[in-house]
Amino acid sequence: MVRAPLPVRDGLGPTRVRMPDSSPFATVLEYLVDRFPQDAARLREKMALREIVDAVGTPLIEMSPLIPRSDIYLYRDPPIEPVVPFPMPILYRDDNLVVVDKPHFLATTPRGAYVTRSALVVLRRELDLPELSPAHRLDRLTAGVLIFTVRPEARRPYQELFADRKVTKIYDAIARHDSSLTLPTTLRSRMIKERGVLRAEEVDGEPNAETHVELTAHDTVHGLYTLHPKTGRTHQLRLHMASLGVPILGDNFYPRFYEVAHDDYSSPLQLLARTIEFRDPFTGDLRRFDSARTLQLPT
């Protein structure tokens, strides 16, 4: 990973912008103003303040030439965002890890409309840990155990645990109860999610997603399901539950998409990352973290 030439500032790292292969514009500033016309005035201010730099940290000026496929860096102005009105307790903290109990509706990392109100930026600011980085990710709508690394030196060993499938993850979900389903069962399918497309989909081909599904309790109308994902594809659990015919309650993506206002917290997705367990890459100890949150069958 290429290290950015600007440090984290107020919990946010700089944004990288890659110059195009070819362009009618002679300078970096001309290109940026054309690409981001709504930010033209602020871009000129940032350039004048020498806050836009090249890949080695040299400040650019108004006449700096556009070099094809080069990278430039700048701090973006954070949007005005609603505060997600739910706590994020810290479950564990040491020199390598910060483990939190993420609430529903809070994004893991800055993305799109969720920048300063992401778990990463909130924790960097509150704990004064500018190098904090996620070891893995949870969907914005999913609650539960979320692990961050504190030191850059610890980042790769923990991230590789997730990449190499050496982490045991257990989720709880609430969905409609279907007495015709034969459970437990293991679902295997091929999932893809294209960049810029909201929903993932199952397609023909070699399976790359696997989930073991158990029914833990039910009241004949709704069921509490325990999910054991072997893989970690985007939206895997949501898509697999929908493919069983029992989509997770509160899921506005599967089986079909419907709009929900960003500040509507009335129907959280009933999916909880309950437990994460792994052998620590530094100490060799078995580590287990459990969410203090629970899901309840609707009354």
Residue 265 burial (10 A CB sphere; 0-12, 13-18, 19+): middle
Question: Residue 83 falls within a domain, yes or no?
Answer: no
Whether residue 99 is found in the same domain as residue 241:
yes
- Looking at the structure, tell me whether residues 57 and 180 fall in a common domain: no
Q: Residue 1 — very low, low, confident or very high, per pLDDT cuts 50/70/90? A: low
Task: pLDDT band for 2, please (50, 70, 90 cuts).
Answer: low
Please state the rounded mean pLDDT for residues 114-127. Answer: 92
pLDDT in tens, 48-60: 999 999 999 999 9
CATH number for the domain including 134? Answer: 3.30.2350.10
Give the residue numbers spanning the domain of 39: 15-74
Provide mean pLDDT across the span 6-10.
89
Residue 153 lies in a domain: yes
- pLDDT beyond 70 at 115: yes
- The reply to whether 43 and 123 lie within a common domain is no
Structural domain count, the chain: 2
Q: Within a domain: residue 79?
A: no
Q: Cα Rg for the chain, rounded, in angstroms?
A: 22
Residue 97, class by beta-carbon neighbours within 10 Å (0-12 exposed, 13-18 middle, 19+ buried)? Answer: buried
DSSP state of 183: S
pLDDT at 76: 86
Q: In terms of domains, do 193 and 62 share one?
A: no
Whichever domain contains 70, its CATH number is 3.10.290
Same domain for 165 and 35:
no
* 136 and 277 together in one domain: yes
- Alpha-carbon span 98 to 146, nearest angstrom: 9
How many Å apart are CA 72 and CA 212, to the nearest integer? 45
Same domain for 123 and 223? yes
Shared domain for 134 and 40, answered yes or no, is no
Backbone dihedral angles phi then psi of residue 253, each to the nearest 5 degrees:
-105, -35
Query: Are 67 and 102 part of one and the same domain?
Result: no
Question: pTM of the prediction?
Answer: 0.86
Same domain, 186 and 237: yes
201 plus 259 within the same structural domain: yes
Query: Residue 210: its pLDDT value, please?
Result: 98
